[in-house]
Amino acid sequence: MAESIVKFLETWSPIDIVLIAQNFDRFLWGALTTLELTVISLLVGGILSIPLAIIRAGNNKILNAPVWVFTYVFRGTPLLVQTYLIYYGLGQFEWIRETFLWGPVLSQAWYCALIAFSLNTAAYTAELLRGSIVNTSRGEIEAARACGFSRAMRMRRIVLPSAFRRALPAYSNEVIFMLHGSVVASTITIQDLLGVGRWLNGRYYLAYEGFITAAVLYFIIVLAVSRGFRLWEKHWLAHLYPQDAVKTKPKKGLASFRI
Amino acid sequence: MDLILEYQDQLLAGTWVTIKLALLSLLIAVLFGLVGAWAKLSKNIVAQKIAAAYTAIVRGVPDLVLILLVFFGGQELANSIGTLTGLWEYAEISQFAAGVGTIGIVFGGYMTETFRGAILSIPKGQIEAGVACGMSRMIIFRRVIWPQMVVYALPGFSNNWLVQIKSTALVSVIGLQDVVYNGFVAGRSTRQLFTFMFAVLMIYLVLTAISDSGLRWLDKKYSKGIVRSDDG
């Protein structure tokens, strides 16, 4: 049975499905690398973005200017160029090559991609969070003030929790954007999902198989991520929806998602 | 700095390729966006499904993957079709055509969503009023929908365009001699990659800054008389 299926595919399929199946474990490892790079840079970038967003939302001009320059440069230029600048560019400087960081970190493609991606997503997330912090309703802040909250406490207990929630829909776009952006890693020798696709095509001199497999797997990942975010939004933004809409339409999956 | 001046011809030629690529693909993106928005809002279920699949694929698959697929796969496909039909012997898809086509189609998907949202924010009563006045569909589109759609779509359009300019950098991967490719080659031959990649970075920054201020001016010009609830 299995043999006849293989035979059928080999003779009739326009693309070499058997070859893809044989190399499928490589694609899964590639997908893992893609996810690893994306998730770690989102974490690092996310942590970096919080203080940056608070500075951008504040009135301190001396701190604001350099952060503005940082976000402007990273949002105004392609991720590919930023990654090249770090991976290929840093080696130009003698003193960087002599630091202890050169061997284990800065000469490694993986870390360079991670640094570029983290800074990039930090810039985008900082601006997105800034918008959300600035738009916190005045009443909430006045109420916190009236209760005697200090500035730091207001930020920690009132502004940030609500700003994070309201930033969620825009942040889901940023996550997908970062996932798309992570293909840049394949241009600096990393075997991510697209890297594996390019390897397969190069090795067997093919035109479709590697790219199509990578495309399908990327599609599945993006689909899963956006579904996940939709559930998350339903949970964390429930207080912003019209009351009865939440009550009368208990969607599947929501109940299991409540903690 | 002297080095950059020495290579300024290559950098400028590359910048010109990048600008051409971005503008041409913008044209394709707007066309696809209009057709896509029309399909999404039409009553034809087949058109709706096709448009939904189109925007889902574009959102789900990274642009570089599609560029590579079109450049290498499209070549192969064109050749197989040529062999099968006997119409042509060897077809070649240039890097520029693959880049313009793919980036145009990808951002057409984003434009579809932008235009669809813009059309939906036009009050339905106005279209009904147009029908009541005996306007044809074409005239309703031209006189009622289009002028307002442009205004509503402008913020999303600006966003898409700013992302799109940056996406053009990816075509350097298939060997199109754009500003990234030329900068990289110059940097490699002089062993000054940081200097040259930094110059490329600055060129992109200038391009985005120019389009940013241009779009802001347009927004100011067109949004007279429209009150936006948020300040973003």
pLDDT 10s digits, A29-67: 999 999 999 999 999 999 999 999 999 998 888 999 999
At residue A206, what is the residue type? L
Size of chain B in residues: 232
Question: How many whole angstroms separate alpha carbon B156 and alpha carbon A250?
Answer: 32
What is the torsional sign of CA A115, A118, A124, A129? negative
Token readout for B62 is 């990274």
> In residues, how long is chain A?
259
Among the residue ranges B31-35, B51-55, B79-83, B207-211, the one predicted with the least confidence is: B79-83
Q: Is A86:A111 a contact under the CB 8 Å cutoff? A: no
Least CB–CB distance from A183: residue in B65, B169, B172:
B65
pLDDT of residue B225: 65
Pick from A71, A92, A138, A188 the residue to mutate for testing the B interface (most B CBs within 10 Å): A92
Query: Are B66 and A80 a contacting pair at CB < 8 A?
Result: no
Of residues A81, A182, A214, nearest to B201 (C-beta) = A81
- The alpha-carbon gap from B163 to the nearest alpha carbon of chain A, in Å, equals 9
Question: Quick one: tokens of B162?
Answer: 């700013």
**Tell me, what's the pLDDT at A244?**
56
How many whole angstroms separate alpha carbon B15 and alpha carbon B22? Answer: 10
The candidate with the shortest Cα–Cα distance to B110, out of B46, B65, B155, is B155
Mean pLDDT value across residues A104-132: 92
User: Which candidate, B99, B119, B131, places its Cα nearest to that of B19?
Assistant: B99
Q: What is the DSSP string of A2-26?
A: HHHHHHHHHHH-SS-HHHHHHTHHH
Averaged pLDDT of chain B: 89
Least confident of A6-10, A137-141, A209-213, B46-50: A6-10
In this predicted structure, the answer to whether residue A105 has a pLDDT above a threshold of 80 is no
Instruction: State how far Cα B71 lies from the chain centre.
Output: 17
Say how many C-beta atoms besides its own lie within 10 A of residue B134's C-beta: 7
Which ipTM did the prediction report? Answer: 0.88
Among A76, A90, A183, select the one facing B64 at the smallest CB separation.
A183
| Helix residue spans in chain B (DSSP H) | 2-6, 8-41, 45-60, 63-68, 74-85, 95-120, 124-132, 137-139, 146-167, 179-190, 193-222
**What is d(CA A129, CA A73) in angstroms, rounded to the nearest whole number?**
17
Q: Which chain B residue lies closest to A179 (C-alpha atoms)?
A: B62
Per-residue pLDDT reduced to its tens digit, A174-231: 999 999 999 999 999 899 999 999 999 888 888 888 999 999 999 999 999 999 998 9
Predicted confidence band at A245 (pLDDT cuts at 50, 70, 90)?
Answer: low
Segments forming the whole domain that contains residue A10 = 2-257
The percent of residues in chain B predicted with pLDDT above 70, rounded, is 96
Residue A258 — very low, low, confident or very high, per pLDDT cuts 50/70/90? very low
Query: Which run of H or E residues covers position A29?
Result: helix A24-57
Supply the pLDDT for residue A255.
Answer: 39
* Integer angstrom CA distances of residue A61 from A65, A74, B71: 6, 20, 48
How far B177 CA lies from chain A's nearest CA (Å)?
Answer: 14
pLDDT at B50: 94
From A205, which residue of chain B is nearest by alpha-carbon distance?
B72
- CA neighbours within 13 Å on the CB side: how many for B178? 29
Residue pair B100/B206 in contact (Cβ under 8 Å)? The answer is no
**According to the model, what pLDDT value does residue A73 have?**
94
Contact pairs from chain A to chain B, CB under 8 Å: 115
Is the pLDDT score of A171 beyond 70? yes
- Gap between the Cα atoms of A238 and A249, Å rounded: 12
Question: In this model, does residue A259 exceed pLDDT 50?
Answer: no
Segment A132-148, tens digit of pLDDT = 999 888 888 899 999 99
B20-175 sits in which CATH class? mainly alpha
Q: Which residue's entry shows tokens 């031209």?
A: B142
Place of tokens 């959300």: A132
What's the pLDDT at A254? 40
pLDDT in tens, B129-172: 999 999 988 898 888 888 888 888 988 899 899 999 999 999 99
CATH number at residue A74: 1.10.3720.10
Average pLDDT over residues A99-106: 78
- For residues B178 and B185, what is the distance between their CA atoms, to the nearest angstrom? 11
DSSP string, B60-77: HS-HHHHHHIIIIIHHHH
Contacts A212 to B, Cβ<8 Å: 69, 73
Q: What is the residue-averaged pLDDT of chain A?
A: 86
DSSP A185-202: GGGGT--SHHHHHHHHHH
Element (H, E) at A110: helix A109-134
CB A52 within 8 A of CB A70: yes
Computed on alpha carbons and rounded to an integer, the radius of gyration of chain B in Å comes to: 21
Indicate the DSSP class of residue B122. Answer: S
Count of domains observed in chain A: 1
What is the spatial distance between Cα A252 and Cα A198, in angstroms, rounded to a whole number? 39
Cβ contacts of B170 on chain A, cutoff 8 Å: 78, 80
Residue among B98, B167, B129, B1 nearest A180 (CA): B167
